[in-house]
Amino acid sequence: MAKYDASLEAYSRRISQLVDYQLDEQGAMTVTGDTRPLYRFPDLTVQAEALFGFIEDAISQEMVAELDFLTVFDAAKSKIRNVVDMPDRKLDLFLRICLEGKGNLSKTKRILFDELSNEEVKKMQVIVKAAIAEIPKNFLD
């Protein structure tokens, strides 16, 4: 956010020094004079560089973390399928609930999986906890 704010400030700080305006009692701004030349051919180099940086961060960090998470998630699904056969929708729900519970299925959510034995749930929770250990810490925050 700081980089984003700085890129916007770099543009508006320069322009605001050249614009004459008045504020009324309610704080409404009235710009006086012709400001069109200020906006006709703006130098947006700083903003373009910032945008490039944001895209680079998204590709090199966020997308890599997302792919790592999906790889771990898919591996956990595969391991759980070795314990019990269940529809994808239900398996995904189990994983999401356990991820929120740091690997545990809460007692209140247990009723959603009443077709599973306690032993099956325990084995599945062990798999989810092992998967959570492989996921980058800041990804689940």
Spatial CB neighbours of 46, under 8 Å, sequence gap ≥ 6: 7, 10, 11
- 22-34 residue pLDDT tens: 899 999 999 988 8
CB contact at 8 A, 73 and 132: no
How far apart are the two ends of the chain, measured CA to CA in Å? 17
Q: Record the pTM.
A: 0.62
- 39-81 residue pLDDT tens: 888 899 999 999 999 999 999 888 988 898 899 999 999 999 9
* Rounded Cα gap, residues 141 and 128, in angstroms: 17
Domain residue spans of the chain = 1-43, 59-141
